Amino acid sequence: MKLNERNIVQTLMGQLENKYVRILAGKYPSNSARIKSFLSKQFSYLPSLRPEIDMLFVDRSGQVNAAEVKFFKKTEMSFKMPFYKGIDQALSLYRYGFDNVALWHFFAPDILMDEINSYGAEAWYFIRNSLQLKLNFSYFKIIDETTALKFQVMQYRDRHRGFSLGKFVDDPQFLIVWRYGNPLLLTGDQFTLKIREALIEFYLGGLQQADKR
């Protein structure tokens, strides 16, 4: 299988489908005529509908969460590669009104564990400690088993070190924990609530119907 973000997302969908009511991938709100028409009627202008939604999850409690997925290749691993890749896109997803948002970093199989931990742990430290962002973050080492991809779950230890939890994403005992809720929902931001309403209605057919699938 060719390693790219699209194939990683498609594989993740298959490995996580038993843990969620529904998973959608690769959604572009800016390409949806229905969403744009709905929002144009709510506001005096059409708000920006970037970025793409890499993955959208409906859990059994009815929460609708989203994840931004970033893939790191061996050839990209140098001092020029930003460890904070994708943070801006992930944070902008809060504007869409998701209950929780995550940024997930995936590292190619040929990248050494020390390099993975250097980038992953540094991003974790930057998000959690330096900026104290309310953003869920995880990083994973990709294991290529020829017939299928496996995603090994990593854990931050300190600014430059991390370690494997010894689990894979498809492990029945592994659960994704969404620790940080959307601060815009907590403040009742009406702009965000309207965008959320549009996404749920036109992507999920309304949250009530989505929960029954």
Tokens describing residue 126: 């930057």
Under 8 Å between Cβ of 139 and 155 = no
Q: How confident is the model at residue 209 (pLDDT cuts 50, 70, 90)?
A: very low
Q: How much is the mean pLDDT over the chain?
A: 89
Pairwise CA distance, residues 125 & 158, whole Å? 7
Compute CA 16 distance to the chain's CA centroid, rounded to the nearest angstrom: 13
Pairwise CA distance, residues 35 & 33, whole Å? 6
Q: Is pLDDT of 128 > 80?
A: yes
Integer angstrom CA distances of residue 89 from 69, 93, 168, 187: 10, 7, 25, 21
Pairwise CA distance, residues 1 & 149, whole Å? 8
Residue 41 exposed, middle or buried by CB count within 10 Å (0-12, 13-18, 19+): exposed
Task: Map out the domains of the chain as residue ranges.
Answer: 5-211
Predicted confidence at residue 78, as pLDDT, reads: 66
Predicted confidence at residue 211, as pLDDT, reads: 40
Pairwise CA distance, residues 213 & 53, whole Å? 21
Predicted confidence at residue 207, as pLDDT, reads: 58
Q: Is pLDDT of 167 > 50?
A: yes
Pairwise CA distance, residues 114 & 130, whole Å? 22
Q: Which residues pair with 103 in a beta bridge?
A: 68, 137
Q: Is pLDDT of 185 > 60?
A: yes
